[in-house]
Amino acid sequence: MLPSDSNLRILLLGNGGREHAIAWKLSQSPLVSHIYAVPGNGGLAGLSHVTCVPDIKADDFEALAKFGKEKKVNLLIPGPEAPLVEGVVDYFHDQMGGYGADGKRGIRCFGPSKAAARMEGSKTFSKDFMQRHGIPTARYKNFTSSASSFAAASAYIESESLASPPRRVVIKASGLAGGKGVIIPTSTAEAITALREIMLEQQFGKAGDEVVVEEFLEGDELSVISFVDGSTVMSLPPAQDHKRVWDGDRGPNTGGMGTYAPTNIAGKSVLESIQRVQEMTVMGMRKEGFPFVGVLFTGFMMTQSGPKVLEYNVRFGDPETQSLLPLMKTDLAKVMLACTDGKLHTVNLEVLPKSAVTVVVAAGGYPGSYAKGTPMRLDDPHPSNTDTVLFHAGTSLSASGELTTSGGRVIASTAVADTLEDAVRKAYEGVKAVHFEGMQFRTDIAGRALKK
Ligand SMILES: Nc1ncnc2c1ncn2[C@@H]1O[C@H](COP(=O)(O)OP(=O)(O)O)[C@@H](O)[C@H]1O
Ligand SMILES: [Mg+2]
């Protein structure tokens, strides 16, 4: 690598537990000199290599690029999907010059172009992509919202319900809906109501301009996160999220209440077919003229007829990342540079032969309405428990050093251990160090895996 590569000045976009975990891991790299987190959070503010920049809006690309030039930033890492789907990578390449294997030396961006980010930004687009490339996914039909196609979509749902055996459907607003755009109805009437709300009443605004109606799939879910440099794909161990807010997978869906990795629900041959799907996806994108750089996160349903893709995300998952990065032995900055430079094949991605568990501590009421600005305290970890990290998600640190809650998911307690049992125990020990009024968390993260 060039000597200047060991002087990375990073602009990291986002304010969640995922971004804290990314910065925590990058801070361990000798290649990184400084990280600017826009806007950052209370945990990022506490890291020695990190400066939080709360007064720039993460969607103000002009201000971001101006700041990037001023601070001589040489690597952009967008954490969440919204800036990627809006084209932040293309904007930075325009403003600061592209970077690539063809000798260009502008800013490196660890993330996909706007065209490639459609894989997450548009579910109708990604479903058609999967169909074009023979990638296993649920049967589906896409619709554009209008009165006449509402009638057509309703008729499709009716016909699915009249099939023998009847087929249940899932309804998805195509655009970004902050994890709320997927409805799983329990009856045809409920399905048509959901359809009306999305297509005619614009419940999700523009995100509902297009709709996917697809077959309901039964099975366990699994998340696979892969590093991609445009052609090479290297995957981290499979992880499992816990989406529902309460124990026993009850209650409304959330952004994710906890994860563990690796999962034990996929054997070797299934993992091989999952890796094949990742490779087919990346090759397909390359062939269609929008090669993928960054993290490709694929959600799978493990059905009786094999793994099927539920969706693609074009960035790290939250809270999967909190479990996966502490398991990664290889320098994250090195892997990211290999991705931006099209040299991922030169890297040996090493993963610790251990388990990781993340338990999310949320504000009372989440995912409904919840209090913000609640004072909080974090005890120092027990000296014997050096494998537990408290990643901050929704916290802020005031100038005078007071920590308060500032979001629904507040803290992610992550632990790494030789066994899954120990990782669970240590992650819950970490939760005991968290104190604020109204805090809630699931007590059964990885519980099903332990029973198996
Ligand atoms: N075809 C399907 N069958 C069963 N459950 C589904 C299906 N599609 C999505 N889901 C459930 O809904 C959740 C959200 O759907 P997903 O496609 O991942 O959208 P998003 O994450 O954008 O909300 C999934 O994690 C899964 O639990
Ligand atoms: Mg999802």
How far is the centre of ligand 2, averaged over its atoms, from the C-alpha of 299 (Å)?
6
How far is the centre of ligand 1, averaged over its atoms, from the C-alpha of 303 (Å)?
13
- 8-110: CATH topology is Rossmann fold (3.40.50)
How far is the centre of ligand 1, averaged over its atoms, from the C-alpha of 168 (Å)?
13
Atom of ligand 1 nearest to the CA of 216: 3
Tens digit of each residue's pLDDT, the chain (452 residues): 443 456 999 999 999 999 999 999 999 999 999 999 999 999 999 998 999 999 999 899 999 999 999 999 999 999 999 999 999 999 999 998 877 656 667 899 999 999 999 999 999 999 999 999 999 999 999 999 999 999 999 999 999 999 989 999 999 999 999 888 999 999 999 999 999 999 999 999 999 999 999 999 999 999 999 999 999 999 999 999 999 999 999 999 999 999 999 998 889 999 999 999 999 999 999 999 999 999 999 999 999 999 999 999 999 999 999 999 999 999 999 999 999 999 999 999 999 999 999 999 999 999 999 999 999 999 976 666 678 999 999 999 988 889 999 999 999 999 999 999 999 999 999 999 999 999 999 999 999 999 87
CA-only gyration radius of the chain, Å: 21
User: Which residue has the CA at smallest separation from atom 1 of ligand 1?
Assistant: 216
Q: Which residues contact 403 (CB under 8 A, 6 or more apart)?
A: 42, 375, 376, 377, 378, 395, 396, 397
Distances (CA, A) of 290 to 213, 231, 299, 397: 26, 11, 21, 40
Cβ distance 140 to 214 under 8 Å? yes
Which listed ligand is nearest to 172 at the C-alpha? 1
User: Could you tell me which CATH class the domain 139-215 is placed in?
Assistant: alpha beta
Phi, psi of 49 (to 5 degrees): -90, 5
- For residues 161-179, one letter each, b for 16 or more C-beta atoms within 10 angstroms of the residue's C-beta and e for the rest, the string is eeeeeebbbbbbbbbbbee
Q: What residues does ligand 1 touch, defined as CB less than 6 Å away?
A: 138, 170, 179, 181-182, 184, 214-217, 221, 243, 299, 310-311
How far is the centre of ligand 1, averaged over its atoms, from the C-alpha of 212 (Å)?
11
The full set of domain ranges for the chain reads 8-110, 139-215
Cβ distance 191 to 200 under 8 Å? no
Q: Could you tell me the maximum CA-CA distance found in the chain, to the nearest angstrom?
A: 66
User: Which residue has the CA at smallest separation from atom 22 of ligand 1?
Assistant: 179
